[in-house]
Amino acid sequence: MTADTTSAGATVPVLSVQGLTVSVRSGGSERALVEGLSFDLARGETLAIAGESGSGKSLTSLAVMGLLPPPSLRASAGRIMFGGQDLLHLPEGAMRRIRGRRIAMIFQEPMTSLNPVMTVGAQLTEAISAHESLPRGEARARALAALQSVRIAQAERRLSQYPHELSGGMRQRVMIAMALALKPDVLICDEPTTALDVTVQREVLDLLRDLQRETGTALILITHDMGVVAEMASRVIVMREGRMVEEGPAQRIFAAPVAQYTRDLLAAVPRMGDGSGAAVLPVAESVVRLTDLRVRFDIRGGLMQRVTHRVHAVEHVSLQINQGETFALVGESGCGKSTIARAIVGLVPHEGRIEVAGQPLQDLTAEGRRALCRDVQMVFQDPMAALDPRMRAGDLVAEPLVIHNIGSDAERRGRTAGLFERVGLPPDAMARYPHEFSGGQRQRICIARALALRPKLIICDESVSALDVSVQARVLALLEELKRDLGIAYLFISHDMAVVENIADRVGVMYLGQIVETGSRAQVFGNPLHPYTRRLMEAVPIPDPGYVRAPLPRLSGEIPSPVWPAGEAPQRLRLVDMGGGHLVAQSNPTAEIAA
Amino acid sequence: MHRYRFVLFRPLQLVPVLFGISVITFLLVRLIPGDPARILLGTRATPSALANIRTQYGLDEPVWLQYFYFLKNLGAGEMGRSTLYKVDVLKLITTRIEPTLALVGMGVFLALLIAVPFAALSARRQGSLVDHAVRLVSTAGLGFPSFWLGAMLIIFFAVRLEWLPVSGYGETFREKLSHLILPGLTIALSLSAVLTRTLRAAMIAGLASDVATAARARGMPESRVFWRHVVPNALVPTVNLLAVNIGWLIGGTVVVESVFAIAGLGQLMVRGIFTRDYMVVQGVTMTFALATVLINFAADIITVTLDPRIKL
Amino acid sequence: MTRPAHPPLRPRLSLGLRFARRPMLATGLCILGAFVLMAVFAPVVAPYDPILQNGDITLLPPSLAHPFGTDNFGRDLLSRVIWGARIDLQIAVIGVVFPFLIGTVAGTVAGFFGGWVDASLMRLIDVVLAFPFLVLMLSIITILGPGLGSFYIAMALVGWVSYARLIRAQILVLKTQDFAVAAQSLGFSRLRIMFRHLLPNALAGSLVFVMSDAVLVLLNGASISYLGLGVQPPLAEWGVMVFEGQGFLNQAWWITLFPGLAIVVLAFGFSLTGDALADLLGVKE
């Protein structure tokens, strides 16, 4: 059906949204969250709807599916034309026959979108037989075929497994298999790769592109990530606060954005380069030095609660952070980068040696540890969770001063006010509670609190990952400014290669608890030598539609587990200096992922 | 299958709890002021009987040794003798356990029969008049004293309408069943108030969950979304709640048996307290504790069956 | 800058406004307030003596003179229900306070310190929970002898367990949250983290639980009195009154109905307040 209409279908849109308005009703009045949105979707094309949080992009997809949660949300105006019918006025029964069969959807969180108590096979067959009455055996065969089409290894075995037994990437493949099993005309992907690691994201994006080419399904891709937009979309809609800001072919949007907002958005997107342009730092004394750091967690089991397995979270890590520099640790989830941060502030027991400002941590008394707390501070990923919800912002920032008996009441008040000004918050913010701030402002409060004790090192654990790109850019600029003015060093922990390249002086790449490559920004990004570093960098979506990716074999590898039976341990990597302090792991248990 | 391996070693993990139960029930009688031999045998015991029990339970020995005598007797199936009924306590308990078990079973069965449909109705029409009514009644139901509710049911169904017997238990299966309906309903109404609230909350959360949205996006009819994707996930917290409340439920039978004059374990215990038949009180307390432990174990097995993610 | 350096911990609520927007809270608090007033002013409000017997007016059905009727001793049931509020409110309050205090301290300490303190406390809790609640209370009352004092002691010995478990679970979760980790990394002392940062956040959940626990305690106290092991006649207590009506189910339903209704309404007040508090504090049960 779809294959023979490709030439003619270009003129007749498969889906046409006209003047769509979605409103929320609260307290008697209605407010529009999406207003007057219009677009056409041509057969077989990929349309990206891009925007930051609150732009209304996800509501648009739910409106098309007729799944806006009643009674507060509803499509109050406009038309959604599909197959000659207005979906907004279709009775529920008819709409149901379209959902899943002709318009399918996949969601951001594959774990919470799959039913945890049903096997993958049962859910797939259910999705198929909801629309086609097939004998049980045939439905199961179709389910298996669908799983195979998304290139899941051992598809047969997966049918009898439960969602929690699969990795995140596999779960999203199952969602895609379910969505495409009935060969729909339109597939809506709502942030399909946001919850996934960057290498898994690469695999899922490749898969989506291949499947679209094979089936001719039109794709609506909803995302905040301009890199993903550039890689996937032929046409782009940029949304902001419920309104379309700009629409056009991807090439044009990226090359010559018209709207000011689009320009700002694209300017805020961190870009990867070759690591050049880094300022050469003068040699300074070290703030933190890790020598052969190891962190392992015991897993107990069985009758006697003996240690049966160990999580080797951090294995033989040595690194040094100098005064006034930003050292970035990058790696995918579970690689141990956050555990290192917690070990430095003494929150997890460790083996090996940690020196802070020349003082070995294990020699310190309780008093010494308290003093150490002044030197090392942390800023977390989720600022809402890091701030006690029952305290005012001013008290939160002043509390460290109170604890460490610094200054009189008046001095503290003055210093707190100074800190608020320093991080760009208005003075009246001191009297407000955390929930009254936006995400970016809350992170500023966290930074102000971290600065209160005038630390030598601030550990930023994914501190900008939860923020919108434009907010992220401003927080990064603040961090940069503080470093320049106050000479603070950062340990910057992130999964985002592009952000790291924009902020780091030196970089360490972590994989399964070990550092596989480390060196200056120019060394690691300009001349990545370890295969895992390369794979990470190649996986990052590039915000440039003209970028031609070197053809790579399609991968569906899984990151191995850092859990080992008691008594066994992963092979220790040997780092070799490739010149100028650029260390690269040689002995290589990760050979299979590079293959 | 390895998820069920806990069935093998969980009984061993229960050893500390069983130890604790035995210590508490042992102390129960020893803490009563007075001569323990007379406490166990009653005031009209003969001197030879008193001497016998002193040797059997080592009552002249130090307390920790007495505990071992207690355990030894327990191991031999010896729980003492009732001063009131003049029979072995173990035998007394085995004859009285059936009505209590039947009452608990009937209560849980009727409670589910009431709670599931009302919770479903309420959750699927959240904010409707039905929902408000169900919420109001279930909230009020939390505070219904079972002794009063039982009396009200008797007044209405047994005295006014004469549909069902006022009290007692009966001999044949049919008789027993008809005698169990009102007491069962008494327990069920109290229990279903808690169950309905939990189930409703879990179902509402389930209806708004990603699982439900994703199922709807695949074109599932709403009833299928509800019964296949919402209810199974709501059952897990419900079973947990039932397990947590099982102690409360068994305790409830003590009161309900008194209201309906059912000759079960609860009535036996209350009468034991009044007639100072301490061996009986001790035996029944221990039986109730063991039953609670066993039922919780069963609930663990059910939870593991319902939710493939749970490992114990 | 006239603001104090440390403004009060809680947000200032525009109380009237919040109250009006929450009919559940308003109704619940009104019911509780009505019962408190009834208990305090029982001698003034009650039309007759609750204990004095009068052989001339036994088993009268509800009428204008005796809105709730009279019992087999000719006592006015309305007066007895009003006086009963004194005892039953006292049961609900005292029966909650001691378990709450014991449980909160035990749970906080166990959750925060972990290790053997936590392990031994949890074993003890396991053992207490292995007994059906009412059965263990009856056993303790067997040792102590019947009476209201025994009931309070038994309640404290058995009831703390739920609070300890609840607080401990909350502390365990809160302990790993970023703001607690942040407090630790800022070098705050353990006591400060435990009582200033963790406990206030954990208490929200147990305040809600206090309300539903008050219902359970009330029902327990009344049940034990009904069984004849708590409050002793001729004192007016609702459970005792229901027991006294038991013999007259087929001729004088009012003796049983009204004291039971009093329990139901008071319990409803506690439940409504608890639900509304859960809403207000954002606590999930």
Peptide bond into A560 cis (omega under 30): no
Per-residue pLDDT tens for A469-517?
A: 888 988 999 999 998 888 899 999 998 888 998 889 999 999 988 999 9
Band (A11; pLDDT cuts 50, 70, 90): low
CB contact under 8 A, C5 and A409: yes
- Amino acid C16: pLDDT: 56
B2 versus A534: which is more confidently predicted? A534
Query: What type of residue sits at position A339?
Result: T
CB contact under 8 A, B289 and C131: yes
Give the residue from A164, A185, A93, A81 showing the smallest Cα distance to A130: A93
- Amino acid B231: pLDDT: 92
d(CA B285, CA C139): 7
Band (A554; pLDDT cuts 50, 70, 90): low
Rounded to 5°, the CA angle C203-C207-C208 comes to 125
Is there a contact between C189 and A399 (Cβ–Cβ < 8 Å)? no
Q: Does some domain include residue B86? A: no
Is there a contact between B224 and B252 (Cβ–Cβ < 8 Å)? no
Position A303 pLDDT exceeds 70: no
Q: Is B223 on the interface with A (CB under 8 A)?
A: no
Kindly list the partner chains of chain C, i.e. chains with 3 or more CB atom pairs below 8 Å: A, B
Per-residue pLDDT tens for B216-245?
A: 888 888 899 999 899 998 988 888 888 878
Which tokens hold the place of A507?
């970089």
CB pairs under 8 A between A and C: 71
d(CA B252, CA C220): 10
Least confident of A89-93, A384-388, C124-128: A384-388
For B50-67, the three-class secondary structure string (H helix, E strand, C coil) is HHHHHHHCCCCCCHHHHH
- How many angstroms separate the CA of residue C34 from the nearest CA in chain B? 17
Give the residue from A67, A191, A80, A177 showing the smallest Cα distance to B219: A67
Per-residue pLDDT tens for C242-274?
A: 898 888 888 888 988 999 999 999 999 999 999
Q: Does some domain include residue B12? A: no
Average pLDDT over residues A341-358: 85
The chain-wide mean pLDDT, for chain A, equals: 85
Would you list the domain boundaries of chain C? 92-281
Among C10, C122, C173, C178, the residue to mutate for chain A (most A Cβ within 10 A): C178
- Amino acid A557: pLDDT: 56
- H/E element holding B255? helix B231-260
CA-to-CA dists, residue C183 to A145, A350, A390, C112, angstroms: 53, 20, 14, 14
d(CA A457, CA A449): 13
Torsion over CA: A421, A424, A426, A430 (sign): negative
Other residues' Cβ atoms within 10 Å of the Cβ of residue A345: 24
CA-to-CA dists, residue A117 to A114, A163, B232, C274, angstroms: 9, 8, 7, 33
- Amino acid A559: pLDDT: 62
Of residues B28, B159, B289, nearest to C250 (C-beta):
B159
Position A40 pLDDT exceeds 90: yes
Give the residue from A81, A116, C50, A524 showing the smallest Cα distance to B310: A116
Q: Does some domain include residue B242? A: yes
CB contact under 8 A, C179 and A370: no
Q: What percent of chain C has pLDDT over 70?
A: 91
Torsion over CA: C21, C23, C26, C28 (sign): negative
Band (C59; pLDDT cuts 50, 70, 90): confident
Q: Does some domain include residue B220? A: yes
Q: What percent of chain A has pLDDT over 90?
A: 31
Per-residue pLDDT tens for A441-451?
A: 999 999 999 99
Band (C283; pLDDT cuts 50, 70, 90): low
- Amino acid B38: pLDDT: 80
Cα–chain-centroid distance for residue C83?
18
CB contact under 8 A, C127 and B20: yes
Per-residue pLDDT tens for B155-169?
A: 888 877 878 877 777
Q: Is B227 on the interface with A (CB under 8 A)?
A: no
Average pLDDT over residues A19-33: 86
Cα–chain-centroid distance for residue B133?
29
Give the residue from A169, A174, A167 showing the smallest Cα distance to A124: A174
Residue A303 gets the label, from left (phi > 0), alpha (psi -120 to 50) or beta, of alpha
Of residues A67, A117, A164, nearest to B233 (C-beta):
A117
Query: What type of residue sits at position B300?
Result: D
CB contact under 8 A, A164 and B308: yes
Q: Does some domain include residue B35? A: no
Which tokens hold the place of A26?
């609260």
d(CA C184, CA C181): 5
- Amino acid C153: pLDDT: 94
Per-residue pLDDT tens for A171-217?
A: 998 999 999 888 899 999 999 888 888 888 888 898 899 888 888 89
CA-to-CA dists, residue A583 to A412, A514, A588, angstroms: 45, 13, 14
- Amino acid B120: pLDDT: 94
Which tokens hold the place of A216?
């001719």
Which tokens hold the place of A82?
């599909």
Other residues' Cβ atoms within 10 Å of the Cβ of residue C191: 9
CB contact under 8 A, B144 and C275: no
Band (A222; pLDDT cuts 50, 70, 90): very high
- How many angstroms separate the CA of residue A370 from the nearest CA in chain C? 5
Query: In sequence order, what are the beta bridge partners of A16?
Result: A40, A81
d(CA A274, CA A526): 4
Per-residue pLDDT tens for C66-113?
A: 888 888 888 888 999 999 999 999 999 999 999 999 999 899 888 888
Length of chain A: 595
Is there a contact between A501 and A492 (Cβ–Cβ < 8 Å)? no
d(CA B216, CA A105): 10
**Residues on chain C touching A370 (C-beta within 8 angstroms):** 187
Q: Is A577 helix (H, G, I), strand (E, B) or coil?
A: strand
Tell me, what DSSP letter sits at residue C232?
Answer: P
- Amino acid C103: pLDDT: 92
The CATH number for B280's domain is: 1.10.3720.10
Other residues' Cβ atoms within 10 Å of the Cβ of residue A369: 15
- How many angstroms separate the CA of residue C258 from the nearest CA in chain B? 10
Nearest CA in chain B to A63: B217
Please report how many Cα atoms fall inside a 13 Å half-sphere around the Cα of residue B66, on the Cβ side: 16
Q: Does some domain include residue B20? A: no
Average pLDDT over residues A114-143: 90
Cα–chain-centroid distance for residue A151?
24
d(CA A492, CA A489): 9
- In terms of Cβ atoms closer than 10 Å to its own Cβ (0-12, 13-18, 19+), residue B260 is buried
Rounded to 5°, the CA angle A21-A22-A26 comes to 130
Q: Does some domain include residue B46? A: no
Place domain C92-281 in its CATH homologous superfamily: MetI-like (1.10.3720.10)
Per-residue pLDDT tens for A243-297?
A: 999 999 999 999 999 999 999 989 888 887 776 666 666 667 888 999 999 998 8
Radius of gyration of chain A (CA): 26
Give the residue from A162, A174, A38 showing the smallest Cα distance to A110: A174
- Amino acid B187: pLDDT: 93
Domain of B300, in residue numbers: 98-306
CA-to-CA dists, residue B88 to A169, B84, B101, B277, C30, angstroms: 65, 11, 21, 12, 54
- Amino acid B304: pLDDT: 85
Other residues' Cβ atoms within 10 Å of the Cβ of residue A594: 12
Position C2 pLDDT exceeds 60: no
CB pairs under 8 A between A and B: 80
Average pLDDT over residues C57-70: 85
Query: What type of residue sits at position C199?
Result: L
Per-residue pLDDT tens for B79-95?
A: 787 878 888 888 899 99
Of residues A97, A114, A117, nearest to B219 (C-beta):
A97
Position A328 pLDDT exceeds 90: yes
- How many angstroms separate the CA of residue C105 from the nearest CA in chain A? 21
- How many angstroms separate the CA of residue A396 from the nearest CA in chain C? 10
Which tokens hold the place of A385?
């969770």
Please enumerate in sequence order all residues whose Cβ is within 8 A of that of A314, keeping only pairs 6 or more positions apart, or say none.
A293, A294, A295, A296, A336, A339, A340, A343, A350, A513
Predicted TM-score of the model (pTM):
0.80
Find the chain A residues whose C-beta atoms sit closer than 8 A to any C-beta of C: 342, 345-347, 369-370, 372-374, 376-378, 380-382, 385-392, 395, 398-400, 403-404, 409, 412-413, 430-431, 433, 446, 449, 453
Q: What percent of chain A has pLDDT over 70?
A: 92
CA-to-CA dists, residue A92 to A86, A103, B200, B248, angstroms: 12, 15, 25, 45
- Amino acid C97: pLDDT: 94
Position C116 pLDDT exceeds 50: yes
d(CA A333, CA A306): 28
- Amino acid A551: pLDDT: 63
Alpha helices (H) along A358-408: 366-375, 383-386, 393-403
d(CA B92, CA B282): 12
Q: Does some domain include residue B72? A: no
Nearest CA in chain B to C136: B285
Rounded to 5°, the CA angle C255-C261-C262 comes to 100
Number of domains in chain B: 1
Rounded to 5°, the CA angle B130-B134-B137 comes to 135
Position B65 pLDDT exceeds 70: yes
Please report how many Cα atoms fall inside a 13 Å half-sphere around the Cα of residue C123, on the Cβ side: 14
Hey, which bits of A148-185 come out as E strands?
Answer: none
- How many angstroms separate the CA of residue C2 from the nearest CA in chain A? 11
d(CA A472, CA A524): 23
Tell me, what DSSP letter sits at residue A10?
Answer: T
